[in-house]
Structure 1
Amino acid sequence: MSSYANSLRFAISRNFLNSHCENAALIKQEGKEDLFYGFELGNEVWGIKTGDAHFTPAQAAKDYALLRKELDEIFGEGKMKILTLSGNWEYVFMTEFIEKFSDWDGVAWHWYPLGAGRSDEVIPNVNDENFTLTEIRERLELVNLWQRQHGRDKELWMGETGGAFNSGQNTTTNRFMSHRWYLDQLGIFAQYRHDAYCRQTLIGGNYGLLQRSEKVNAINPDFWGTVLFNSLMGRYVHEVKHSGDEKLHIYAHKNDENQFVLLAINFNREKSVQIEAINGLADLHVVVWEMTSPDDQSSTVILNGNELPKANTVDITEMWEAKNLPVKIAAKSYAFIRVVLN
C-alpha cells in the first residue's frame, strides 16, 4: 500500500510538471513570455498542512529541479523565475526543501486568516483592530525568520488570499468593510518584506475585486483600495509610530518622487480620528483620498464626497483633495494622505 501511494504521488507530480512545460512551450511559441513573471508548480500539494497530496521536500526538490531545467531550455538560462510552495506556510518543509534544491527565486505562500466563509468569526476578525497585530504579525515573523536564516536572496509573496476561504463571505469580503482586513494586510505584509500580494480573486466568489452577477461584472469596494495602494504608496516602506487612538492603523511609504504617503485605517466604529501632525510637523500641506460608505456592508464607495461607479472605472488617482493638517478620518473608513513637499 505504501509503495502504491508513493507511485501515485509521483505520477500526479509528473502530470503537473508536464502540463507546466507544455504551457511554457506554448507561451514561448506565441512570443508572450514578456507577459509572464514566473512559474509555480502545482497548487497546495506540498507539505503536510495543505491539500491531500502532501509531497515531501525531497520530491519537491526533484520536481522543481526538472522544472528549472525545462524552463531554462525553453526561455534561456535564468530568464523565467520560479516561485515555490504555493500552499500554507511550513517552516520545516521550506528549510528541508531549500537545503536540497535552491535554484529558485521566491516563496509564494497561501493563507486565509479570517477563517471559513461560513464562519461567524469572519466579521469579528475583520472589525478587530488587534487581529492584524497579533494573528497576522506572528505568522509574518516566522516567515521573516526563515528568510533571514535560509533565504535572504529569495522573494516573499503572499501568493493567494481572499481573507476567508471557500469563496469568501457575502456582504463581508465583497463590501466596504472588507478594507479593514485587506488594506491592513497590504500594509503589514509590506512591512514584513513581502514583494507581492495576490488577492483571490479578480472575478469569482464573494472575495473578488469584481462581482459577477447575471453575466454583469460590478466593481467591489476593495478594487478601489487596490488601485490607490498600488498607485500611491511607493516602494520604500517606513516604520510608523503614533501616539493617537489604538484603533487607528497607519502605514507609511515613500514614492519615487521622495514624497511620503500614509495609509490611515480607522477601526473605530463610532468616532472619527484626526491626524494632527506628521513627523512632528503640524503645518503641512497634504492631498487626501478619503474613502467612506453610507453603510459598512454596502458596495457603495464615496471618494472625497463623490460616489464611485460600479459598472466602469475612473482615474481615482486624480480625485484628490488638497488640505492642511489636521486631517479627519471618519469612523469605519480609511484615507490615503500624501505630503506635499514645498
Structure 2
Amino acid sequence: MIYGKNVTMGNIVVDGTTRITETDENYICMTIDYWPFNECSTIPCLWDGNASALNLNLSLPTLTKAVQAFKTLRIRVGGSLQDKLIYDVGSFKGNCPQFVRNSTAMFHISEGCLSMERWDDLNQFFNKTGAIVTFGLNALLGRQHTSGLRWEGEWNYTNAEAFIQYTIEKNYRINSWEFGNEMVGHNSIGVNITSAQYAKDLIKLREIIDRLYNNSQQKPLIAAPSAFFDASWYKDFVYGTGPGIVDILTHHIYNMGAGYDPKVIDNFLDPNYLSKESRDFQQLKNIVENNAPWYIDQLAMAALYNTKVYCRQTLVGGFYGILLPYILAPSPDYYGALLFHRLMGSGVLKVDNNVSFYLRTYAHCTKERSGVTMLFINLSNQTEFTIDIKNNTMNMGLPNKPSQREEYHLTPNNGLVRSSMVLLNGNLLKTTEDGDLPDLTPIYRDSNSSITVATWSIVFVVIPDFEAPACK
C-alpha cells in the first residue's frame, strides 16, 4: 500500500503489425443544438444561457478559440428540434418565428425558423474557426400526424431544396447533410415514420444533392438515419436504401443515462457498464461490412469498431456540453477531446490488456508523426497502475537506444471526479480572461521506463520510436 492506495504492475502488449480499423482524420465532432432560451420549465436549467444555434453568441472569444484549437473540428448543427425548423428562404420566406414553449406541440415546443442572416453568421463563424459542418435537415415537413408517434405522408422537400440552393449560391461549404433526427426505427423520439417512406425520401434528397451540386467539386455527403440503434431495423434500412444513397451511416447513443441522473457518475466509473455499448458498435460494424470517463473511453471504444466520426452532444448547452454553461469555459472532457484529436491518429491498433478491467487501454498510430500513442483511463480510485509496454512486432521490444516519450496526465481538480476543472501533469488548466487556452505541455520520460497511471486519471503517452509497420 502507498498512501492508502494499491499499486498493480503489469504488461500491456501492442500489436503494431496491422491496423484493425481506421477512423476519419477528423474524428472528433460536437453538436450545436436548437433548444431555445426558455426550454426549461424549472430552474436551474443548463439549456438557458443562449446555447441554441439560433442565438448563441458567436463572437465570444472563449467559444471561437475553443473551436479554433482543433483547427478542423467537426460541428453538427441539429438535434431534436431540427425537424420543426423552417428556413426563411424561397416560398417560405416571410414570417420567421422563434421557438417558444407550447404544451400541445411535439417536445412542447412550437415550430421555429432559421433566418438567412443567422445562417450567414453561422457560416462566418465556421469559416473563421475552420469547422467541418454537418447540417441536420428538417425531414418532417409536409407530413401529417395520424396517431401515437406515427406520421404519414410525403416529405415536402421544397424548403430544404431552397435552403441548399441558397447555401450553394453563397459558396458555403457543407461536408454533409443529415436527414432528420431520431424519427425512425423502433426507438424513435417524438415522431415515427416508416422505413419505406424514409428510404423513399432519402432517394429524393440524393437526387436534389446530385442535381444542385452537379458542377461542384465539393459535393456534400448524406448522413442517415441518426436513430437509436436496433440491429434488425438498421439491416433492413441499409438493404432498403441500396447503394449510392447514404454515404454516412449514423446512430445515436445515450447509454450513460440522463445528465441530471445522480447515478450517472457511477455509470462513468463502471467498466462493465461502459463496455455494454461495444455490442452495438460491433453489430453496426457487421451490418455495414455485410451490406455496404467517460467520454474519452467512448471515443476510443467506438474507434475500435470502425467508427469514422464520433459526435458529442453537445458543444454547449444541456447537462453534457463540452463547454461549461454560461461562461463557455472548457470542461475536463474538452481537454481530453483536444488531446485525442491532436495525438491519436486514424490507425487503430490491437492492444492486449490482462492487467485490470478498470484500466481501459487503447493504441493508435500517432497523428502526423511516427510511432504510437497510448491512451490509458484508470476508472479506479483505489488502484494505481505501473505499466510496461511490450511490442509484439517481430518479437521486438521498445528501442534500446536512449529516447524519450511524451506523457499527458489528466487528473480531476482536488481529486474530485465531479470537478469542472482538471489538472494536466499537476498543473490546473484554465483559460485567460481573453479566452486563450493554456498550453498542453507534456512531461518527458525515458521510453523504456514504466508508465504510472494514477487513480481516476486519463493518460496519453506518445512513443515516437515504437516500431509499428502499420503506422508507416
TM (norm. structure 1) is 0.82
Partner amino acid, structure 2, of 1:139? D
2:186 counterpart of 1:48: yes
Deviation at 1:315, TM superposition (A): 5.8
Deviation at 1:119, TM superposition (A): 3.1
SS at match of 2:321: coil
Equivalent residue number for residue 238 of structure 2:
98
Partner amino acid, structure 2, of 1:82? I
Whole-angstrom distance in 2 between the partners of 1:183 and 1:261: 14
| Alignment of structure 1 residues 10-89 onto 2, 5 Å | 10-11=152-153, 14-15=155-156, 17-33=157-173, 36-76=174-214, 79-89=219-229
SS at match of 2:369: coil
Equivalent residue number for residue 274 of structure 1:
386
Partner amino acid, structure 2, of 1:210? L
2:293 counterpart of 1:186: no
Q: Tell me which of 330, 336, 343 is aligned to 1:225.
A: 336
2:449 counterpart of 1:332: no
Aligned-CA RMSD value: 2.3
Whole-angstrom distance in 2 between the partners of 1:89 and 1:186: 17
Equivalent residue number for residue 357 of structure 2:
246
Q: Tell me which of 376, 382, 387 is aligned to 1:264.
A: 376
Equivalent residue number for residue 124 of structure 1:
266
Classify 1:101/1:277 alpha carbon distance in 2 versus 1 (closer, same or farther; 3 Å): closer
Classify 1:119/1:298 alpha carbon distance in 2 versus 1 (closer, same or farther; 3 Å): closer
Equivalent residue number for residue 322 of structure 1:
444
Larger Rg: 2
Q: After superposing the two structures, state which structure 1 stretch, 258-267 or 18-27, moved more.
A: 18-27
2:332 counterpart of 1:208: no
Whole-angstrom distance in 2 between the partners of 1:337 and 1:99: 42
SS at match of 2:337: helix
> Is the 1:45–1:53 Cα contact (8 Å) retained in structure 2?
yes
Classify 1:275/1:313 alpha carbon distance in 2 versus 1 (closer, same or farther; 3 Å): farther
Structure 2 unaligned residues grouped into runs of 5+: 1-143, 392-396, 467-472
2:418 counterpart of 1:297: yes
SS at match of 1:5: strand
Q: After superposing the two structures, state which structure 1 stretch, 114-123 or 247-256, moved more.
A: 114-123
> Is the 2:259–2:320 Cα contact (8 Å) retained in structure 1?
no
Deviation at 1:336, TM superposition (A): 0.3
Q: Deviations over 1:277-334 (max 9, x none)?
A: 33254966311011112221111211112211145343645x0111122121110011
Partner amino acid, structure 2, of 1:184? D
Q: Give the helix-richer structure, 1 or 2.
A: 1
Deviation at 1:9, TM superposition (A): 2.8
Classify 1:313/1:241 alpha carbon distance in 2 versus 1 (closer, same or farther; 3 Å): farther
Whole-angstrom distance in 1 between the partners of 2:213 and 2:410: 44
Q: Deviations over 1:226-252 (max 9, x none)?
A: 100011000100010123233111100
Seq. identity, %: 27
| Alignment of structure 1 residues 165-180 onto 2, 5 Å | 180=293
Whole-angstrom distance in 1 between the partners of 2:146 and 2:357: 52
Deviation at 1:183, TM superposition (A): 0.7
SS at match of 1:187: helix
Q: Deviations over 1:199-248 (max 9, x none)?
A: 010110121111222xx322211110110001100010001012323311
Q: Deviations over 1:123-174 (max 9, x none)?
A: 22111022222x11121121122112212xxxxxxxxxxxxxxxxxxxxxxx
Classify 1:93/1:21 alpha carbon distance in 2 versus 1 (closer, same or farther; 3 Å): farther
SS at match of 1:185: helix
Deviation at 1:46, TM superposition (A): 1.3
Whole-angstrom distance in 1 between the partners of 2:145 and 2:323: 44
Structure 1 unaligned residues grouped into runs of 5+: 152-179
Deviation at 1:90, TM superposition (A): 2.4
Aligned structure 1 segments of 4 or more residues deviating by more than 6 angstroms: none
Partner amino acid, structure 1, of 2:224? T
Deviation at 1:111, TM superposition (A): 0.9
Q: Tell me which of 297, 301, 307 is aligned to 2:428.
A: 307
Partner amino acid, structure 1, of 2:273? F
Q: Which structure exhibits the higher relative contact order, with contacts defined as CA atoms closer than 8 Å and separated by 6 or more residues?
A: 2
Q: How many matched pairs? A: 303
Whole-angstrom distance in 1 between the partners of 2:164 and 2:304: 33
Classify 1:223/1:118 alpha carbon distance in 2 versus 1 (closer, same or farther; 3 Å): closer
Classify 1:251/1:316 alpha carbon distance in 2 versus 1 (closer, same or farther; 3 Å): farther
> Is the 1:282–1:326 Cα contact (8 Å) retained in structure 2?
no
Classify 1:99/1:253 alpha carbon distance in 2 versus 1 (closer, same or farther; 3 Å): same
> Is the 1:269–1:331 Cα contact (8 Å) retained in structure 2?
yes
Equivalent residue number for residue 137 of structure 1:
278
Partner amino acid, structure 2, of 1:110? H
